[in-house]
Homo-oligomer: A and B are copies of this chain.
């Protein structure tokens, strides 16, 4: 399925696997790409915040884009957020040439007023070219930039090349409802909404109008199953599945240490070879590892995928 304003399902936020010596682990990248597709993901997003993008050299970023794009059968989105438009443009153009489906852009932390935010994305689109499809990332908790529904509407109206909102405001349920009601009223053009924020509210977001999830939880197969249950109208079943995973979802959704949990789970699932992060990194203490493993063992009673 192409990347479009009608995109649905789960776009996996891919981690970037490293070998013990810190070099990029391309073998694990291949395995991870396959794993996301086998899990039912309808897309893959690489080089995002959780992908340790700022820790990569420019040539490494391109090599990763090339590797994933050439292997994946689903659309690949490339995170191109950068301190300046020059770096954003070159990574975006290079990625599209290599076959990426689109790019994702987050606002830089210094933005404050509505006009500053709207103006920034006008500059970004001017830089990458209005022929490059892109995802607008709305993540105030980490980025400190707060976009009201009105600002998102202005950006979407200004730039038809923006096909999707990565929604991860917190609290954020009402924002989805507001945007969808603007669209229903015909005051806003259609676009896809996939939810991030670690999936913490994915038990209600589909009913609010989200088309699915874009997050990196270690069980993407559970995320696709969950979205499928909602699509099938099986509300109680969906909540049952979600609730079983929530203790781990909650544990993984911790700033900084969350990536360590995610890599630990993916390693235990046999998808990536090591849980190495590049510096600066936050690692798991042995106590934290034991806590995650305990949560996995509890989850395994409900969901066999967690029996590792």
Point out residues on A near B: beta carbons under 8 Å.
52-58, 60, 82-87, 90, 109, 112-116, 119-120, 123, 126-127, 140, 145-148, 150-151, 170-171, 173-174, 177, 200-201, 203-204, 208, 239, 242-243, 246-247, 250, 254-258, 278-280, 285, 287-288, 291, 298
Contact = CB atoms under 8 A, between A and B. Distances in A.
Given A85-B278, A171-B256, 11 more contacts: A55-B85, A56-B86, A57-B90, A85-B280, A113-B148, A116-B148, A170-B254, A171-B255, A174-B257, A174-B285, A246-B247
A112 B256 CA distance: 14
Nearest to A171: B254
Contacts of A256: 171
A298 B84 contact: no
Given A57-B86, A57-B90, A123-B279, A243 B247 contact: yes
Contacts of A148: 113-116
A84 B54 contact: yes
24 contacts: A52-B84, A54-B84, A54-B87, A55-B85, A58-B87, A85-B280, A109-B109, A112-B146, A113-B114, A113-B147, A114-B150, A115-B148, A123-B279, A123-B280, A127-B279, A170-B255, A171-B255, A171-B258, A173-B288, A200-B250, A208-B287, A246-B247, A246-B250, A250-B250
> Which of A145, A151, A201, A204 is the most central at the interface, judged by chain B CB atoms within 10 Å of its CB?
A204
